[in-house]
Structure 1
C-alpha cells in the first residue's frame, strides 16, 4: 500500500532544507564578549539545524552559545526560551542547562549579520558529562532515563505558550507529514515496511490521539541529548536541546525516548520496558497511553528513517552526522514489526503492573 500526501512542503521542511550563512569562530567570540560579557575561546560543535559553540573561559568555566537557524520563527524561539526558564524555576534539581543574561538583562540577543540575516543568540551553562551514546547500555541506565524524563515532564506540567502548537517536522503526532518522503526510500523492503507503519498509524493511532493527555514535552530525548556522569554512567547528569519542544500527547515524550532503547533481538523492548516502568512510577500513565505506546514508538522510528534519509540527500556534506540514528531506527522498526500483534502492548503493560484487558 502506498500512501501519498497532497500537501506541499511545510515551513519546517523548508527550514531544514534551507542553507544559511554561518557564524564563524570569531563571530561567536565577539558576540560572547560584546553581548554577554564573556571573554572566551570558542569551538564549533556538531549540530543539524542551528549552530552551537562551546565557550571556554580562562577561569575554567564553560558555556554553550546557541545560534538559531535564521528561518526559525521568533515566536518559536520565545516558546523554547520561556519553556527553559520555566524548567529553571520549577525545579532547581532538574539536570537542565540554565540561560545566561546579556549585559542589558535579556535572555535572547538578536544578531543582525551580513545580507540582512537575523538570528537569535542564547548562551547556556555547560553541563559536564559523557553523551549517552558513548556509554555501555545497562538496565539501571534505562531506569534512570525514565526517572529523569518523568521529572522533566512533571516540571513542564501546566506550562503554556501561544506557540506551543507550532508545526514541527519531528512531531510524531503528525506522522502523516512523512507520506511524500517515503517514496524516496530506495530499498523496496524498507519502503514497504515504512508504508505499513504509516498505514497503521493513520488507521489505529491518529484517531485515538485527541483523547490523550497533552502538554509541552521535550520531544527529542535521543542519546545525543542526554549526558551521564562519567564516573557513574547510570546517573543522568543533563538533558539538553529544547529545539524540538512542542505541545503533544504526554506519552509521546516517552515514546521518543524508548525508540532509542530498542535492542536488535527477538525481545527488542526489554530495556525500553524498564524505562517505561520507572517513568510510570513517578508520573503514572493511563491505560490508553500504555496501549498506544508501541505504535507511537514505531511512529518515531518512521520519522527518523524518513527525515534523516531525506536530509542526508539535501546536505551530503553533513551526511554522517544526519544519518547517525538511521540504521538503528530501521533495525528497531523491523524488530517491532516482527512481534506478534499485541505482544508489545502486553510487555509494556506488564512492566507498568497493569492488565489492559481488566484495568483496576
Structure 2
C-alpha cells in the first residue's frame, strides 16, 4: 500500500487552525518530516504549536495515534520533556480531515501539539557527557513507558512494521535497490548475522514498549549553565512499538554515531548512560553489535526505497546516508570483537569516573 505524504498549503493550515482550534496564525512555516507534514504555527492569541498532518496510510489507524499521544502525555506528566496535544474546540485530540492532495480524496489525521524550543542533536557538537545523558534518558523513557495504561495498547504489537528490528530479515526484499554497490554485500552479511546470532537469543531479551526513534532529529537540546547542552525535548512517537529494551539502545547508538567525528567511541558513551539505569544481560550484550549494524542497514535501505517512492523529499529521507554508509563499512571492517572492546571498556571507564566524581562531590 503506497503511503501518500500530505501536501497541505499554508492557506489550508490557516483554515484548519481557525476552524478546529479557534486560533489565528500569526506565523507559519513548514518543518521537516520523514513521512508526514509538520507546520510550526504561532497563534495571535498566544502560544506556539506544531500542526501535524499524518500520511494517508498511518491515518487509517487512529487507535495507534491515540496511544502515541497518550504516551507523550503520560511521559510529560512524569517529568519528561515531551509534547502534549491541544484538543479541538469540541474536545477532540485527533481530527479526521478529508482533502485531495493530488492523489484523490484521502482522510488525514490532524493533531495540534505544543512546540518545544531547542535545536536538534544534528545541529550541535555532541560531548561525551551529552551522549551519556542520552543513553540514560532513553533507558528511563522505556522504563516509564512500562507503566503506561491504555485500552488499545495491543496496537503497539506491530508485527508487520518494517521498522521493527525483529523484522530485519525482511530487508532482503529491498536489497536490490542497492544495485551492486559495495554496501549490498555488507547488508546481506548483516542480515545473515542477525538470523544466526540474534534470532536464537531474542527469547532472552527483555520486552517493553519503546519509542524506537530517538534519533539525532528527534532529541532537542538547549545550552546549559556549564557551557554544554541539556536535553529539552523528545519528539515524534510515530515509531512506537512493542519491542525490547536492547532495541531502543541499539537505535539510539546508531543515530548518535551519525553526529560524531569518531563514531565508534559513541557506542560506549551511550551504553554507559543506559547501563547506569538499566544494565544489559549477557544475551543483550552479545547481540548489541549486530543490532546496531541492523539499525544502520534498515535506515539506509528503507530511506533509499522511500526516496524512490517520494523523490521530492530526498534531502530529508537521505539524511542518514551522508555518514551512515561510511560508518557501516567501518563497523563491519573492525568486526564484532574489536568494536565491543571499545564500547564496553569505554562504558566501564565512564561509569567508574562518574561514580568517583559523585563520591568526591558528596552526591553519592
Q: TM class, shorter-chain normalised?
A: 0.7 to 0.9
Match of 1:290 among 285, 289, 292: 285
Deviation of residue 262 (structure 1)?
Answer: 2.7
Deviation of residue 170 (structure 1)?
Answer: 1.5
1:181-260 alignment runs, 5 A limit? 181-230=174-223, 233-260=228-255
- Equivalents in 1 of 2:6, 2:347: separation in Å? 48
Q: Deviations over 1:221-254 (max 9, x none)?
A: 1111111104555211111101111110111011
Asked whether the equivalents of residues 39 and 57 of structure 1 are also in contact (C-alpha less than 8 Å), the reply is yes
Q: How many residues align?
A: 337
Structure-2 residue corresponding to 1:24? 9
Q: Deviations over 1:30-59 (max 9, x none)?
A: 222221222213222121211111111236
Residues 1:276 and 2:268 aligned together:
no
Match of 2:73 among 66, 82, 85: 85
Structure-1 residue corresponding to 2:355? none
For structure 1, list consecutive stretches of 5 or more residues without a partner in the other structure: 1-13, 355-360
Deviation of residue 147 (structure 1)?
Answer: 2.0
The RMSD of aligned alpha carbons is 2.3
Residues 1:70 and 2:56 aligned together:
yes
- Equivalents in 1 of 2:256, 2:270: separation in Å? 9
Q: Deviations over 1:235-290 (max 9, x none)?
A: 11111101111110111011111012337999743122111111111233222222
Asked whether the equivalents of residues 6 and 53 of structure 2 are also in contact (C-alpha less than 8 Å), the reply is no
For structure 2, list consecutive stretches of 5 or more residues without a partner in the other structure: 350-364
Residues 1:165 and 2:157 aligned together:
yes
Asked whether the equivalents of residues 263 and 269 of structure 1 are also in contact (C-alpha less than 8 Å), the reply is no
Structure-1 residue corresponding to 2:128? 139
Asked whether the equivalents of residues 85 and 93 of structure 2 are also in contact (C-alpha less than 8 Å), the reply is yes
Taking a change above 3 Å as real, the CA distance of residues 29 and 283 of structure 1, as seen in their structure-2 partners, is farther
Structure 1 length as normaliser, TM-score? 0.87
- Equivalents in 2 of 1:165, 1:310: separation in Å? 24
- Equivalents in 2 of 1:241, 1:204: separation in Å? 31
Match of 2:87 among 101, 104, 109: 101
- Equivalents in 2 of 1:335, 1:79: separation in Å? 38
Asked whether the equivalents of residues 131 and 228 of structure 1 are also in contact (C-alpha less than 8 Å), the reply is yes
Q: Deviations over 1:182-207 (max 9, x none)?
A: 11203432111111111101111122
Deviation of residue 75 (structure 1)?
Answer: 2.8
Asked whether the equivalents of residues 68 and 240 of structure 2 are also in contact (C-alpha less than 8 Å), the reply is yes
Q: Deviations over 1:154-189 (max 9, x none)?
A: 221233601011232221221112101111203432
Asked whether the equivalents of residues 268 and 335 of structure 1 are also in contact (C-alpha less than 8 Å), the reply is no
Taking a change above 3 Å as real, the CA distance of residues 128 and 206 of structure 1, as seen in their structure-2 partners, is same
Structure 2 length as normaliser, TM-score? 0.86
Deviation of residue 217 (structure 1)?
Answer: 0.6
Asked whether the equivalents of residues 259 and 332 of structure 1 are also in contact (C-alpha less than 8 Å), the reply is no
SS of 2:110's partner is strand
Deviation of residue 351 (structure 1)?
Answer: 4.4
Which 10-residue stretch deviates more, 125-134 or 139-148? 139-148
- Equivalents in 2 of 1:348, 1:287: separation in Å? 15
Structure-2 residue corresponding to 1:120? 109
Residues 1:44 and 2:37 aligned together:
no
SS of 2:113's partner is strand
SS of 2:229's partner is coil
Asked whether the equivalents of residues 35 and 102 of structure 1 are also in contact (C-alpha less than 8 Å), the reply is yes
